[in-house]
A = this chain, B = another copy of it.
Amino acid sequence: MSEPPPEQVVDAAAAAPSKSELKKRAKALEKEKKAAEKAAKQQEMATQTQAAAEDYAVAFYGQLPLNQSQSRPRRPRVTIASLSSREEESVLLRARVQTSRAQGNKMVFLNLRQRTDTVQALLLVTPEKVSKQMVKWAAGLADESIVLVEGIVKKSPEPIKSATVSDVELHITQLHLVSGIDGRLPFSVEDASRPDLEDDADESTDAQFNRVLLKTRLDNRVIDLRTQTNQAVFKLQAAIGNMFRNYLDENGFTEIHSPKLQGAATESGASVFKVSYFKGSAFLAQSPQLAKQMAIAADFERVYEIGPVFRAEDSNTHRHLTEFMGLDLEMTIEEHYHEVMELLDGLFLSIFRGLREKYSDETELVRLQFPADEFKWREGPEGTLKLTFKEAVDILVADGVAREELDDIKQVTENEKRLGRLVKAKYDTDYFIIDKFPMALRPFYTMPDPDDPTLSNSYDFFMRGEEILSGAQRIHDPAFLIEKMRSKGVDPESMKPYVDAFRMGCAPHGGGGIGLERVLMLFLKLNNIRRATLFPRDPKRLEP
């Protein structure tokens, strides 16, 4: 009842076999496969029969057939995290073999892993239950194999330091291979989990272990992501997204989804990806800026969007990606743009508090690999530190930075981290806001300050001295907007639907855009945005 999958259509077009021919071919292939499988099975069984003569445990271990949903016995399986409460129970679970270590030919220790949880398991030769052959087979299991384990949960004689579940261990009674390893792993999950030094280029240290460089990790991201650190990082990423949404849902926002394919290279022509679109071209949205403002003109009042944004900038830094997740919002203003700035501040505080209250386990797990001071912010009546751009400049000047240097907008970025350090020393906070940026530093749609037209109603938010949010009141008057576009060299005709939205009446409004990966990177001090991204994209990386 579904449509044909496209590759089927392509297939048919290339060789043009008829439907019945295709069926025949598929049947023939299946027949061949079955015959080969049968032969292999017969040989295997012959070998096994011989072995079984002396192996009473033959039914208790070995490779399972490929799971094609052959049956559904509905046997309950448990999590490693729950084992502490299951002493003396017989349990069934699926897990990775993180490491295995044989002791003589009668015993093997397995470190079993499920995401961020590990437990020690042991297999010991036991008459009529565990055979020598079974122990030998288990000792030969490749690291990262997936096994189905049956065993008895036993109190461990002493705390097990090498596992997250330290009070119990699993005495294996049955052990089957669900999925094995084909070839050699590029690196071990253990090596990938060792504490990281700030500078990836410095390979001289940690000589006793194999260090895994960031490039190697990213080239083999699937295995790198299996570290307990990365499992925690991405739980935290999901948590930030969730807290962002919850706060905004509670504050009357509606989630929207705006198109990433655009008809014109809008906002800023320089850094837009061009797409072949049937007989013409389209462009990838650099942000949902235009769409979310049009949603305000369409009376949505308060909107947010979580979606990819695309930047065709050839920046190869620790904090730039060509594709990242934008947490964007836009809302009407009743009186003053500080309504937006304060809502955004409340949003960040709720995220920070949520991370501290509900995700301290994950944060601490990450810190084992990426040591960092605890992220600090100001609470209570004094509230978040808010500086004007001028005050921020004065702080830097007082620290010895030449004022002329600060006037040069290209130098500004380099001074951000310095400002972050000065603010931390003076105010003991890793989080602050800078308000009232010069108009010259902001995009055309930014509302100028009512008293000083060289300033604007705009703000940036900072974490550990790096910008994580940029926002402003926007111009909602079409004539004024057109004037500003022209003064910044943007052709209003190139953005007609956007300008027209304001001709149909639009409430005063403002908003901001947050980089999800930057918030995650800076909260955890991961030092590179790629570590905060599942499968990062930069000018030199499009895979995996």
Contact across chains for B67 and A1 when beta carbons are under 8 A apart: no
The 8 Å CB contact of A257, one of B26, B300, B534, is B534
- Determine whether the beta carbon of A268 is less than 8 Å from that of B504: no
Q: Is the CB of A544 within 8 A of B294?
A: yes
Q: How far is the CB of A311 from the nearest CB of chain B, in Å?
A: 9
A298 CB contacts on chain B under 8 angstroms: 221-223, 225-226, 230
| Contacting residue for A299 out of B75, B225, B338, CB 8 A | B225
Determine whether the beta carbon of B457 is less than 8 Å from that of A5: no
Q: Is A453 close to B, CB under 8 A? A: yes
**Complexed CA–CA distance, A9 and B441 (Å):** 10
Task: Please determine whether B260 and A22 come into contact, CB atoms closer than 8 angstroms.
Answer: no
> A41-49, A371-379, A505-513, A521-529: which one contacts chain B?
A505-513
Interface 1/0s, chain A 274-316, versus B by CB < 8 A? 1111100010100000010011011111000011101011100
Taking the complex as formed, is A330 at the interface, i.e. its CB lies under 8 A from any CB of chain B? no
Stretch at the interface among A53-61, A155-163, A168-176, A180-188: A180-188
Interface: A460 (CB within 8 A): yes
Contact between A308 and B447 (Cβ–Cβ < 8 Å)? no
For A297, what are the chain B residues with a Cβ–Cβ distance below 8 Å? 222
> Which residues of A163-218 have CB atoms within 8 Å of chain B's CB atoms?
178-183, 185
Q: Is the CB of B408 within 8 A of A19?
A: yes
Tell me if A4 and B409 are in contact (CB < 8 A). Answer: yes
Q: Taking each of A1, A278, A416, A470, which has the highest tally of chain B beta carbons within 10 Å of its own beta carbon? A: A1
Partner of A68, one of B96, B457, B504, B506: B457
Is A487 a contact of B29 with CB atoms below 8 Å? yes
Tell me whether B5 and A449 are in contact (CB under 8 A): no
Give the residue of B7, B226, B314, B439 whose beta carbon is less than 8 angstroms from that of A489.
B7
Is A255 touching B238 in the complex (CB atoms < 8 A)?
yes
The 6 closest A-B pairs by CB, nearest first: A497-B544, A263-B542, A6-B268, A225-B298, A182-B503, A72-B336
Query: A71–B500 contact, CB under 8 A?
Result: no
Task: Select which of B223, B295, B314 is within 8 A of A225 by beta carbon.
Answer: B295
Q: How far is the CB of A405 from chain B (nearest CB, A)?
A: 12
Give residues 1-31 of A contacting B (CB, 8 Å).
1-11, 14-15, 19, 22-23, 25-27, 29-30
Interface-lining segment among A101-109, A132-140, A351-359, A472-480: A472-480
Mark each residue of chain A from 314 to 344: 1 if its CB lies under 8 Å from any CB of chain B, else 0: 1000000011010000001111111000000
Q: Name the residue of chain B whose CB is nearest to the CB of A257.
A: B325
CB pair A505–B180 under 8 Å, yes or no, is yes
Do B146 and A1 touch (CB < 8 A)?
no
Q: Is A73's CB within 8 Å of the partner chain B? A: yes
Instruction: Please give, as numbers and ranges, the residues of chain B lying within 8 Å of A222 by CB-CB distance.
Output: 294, 297-298, 497, 500-501, 504
Within the complex, which residue of B234, B271, B282 is in contact with A300, where a contact is CB–CB below 8 Å? B234
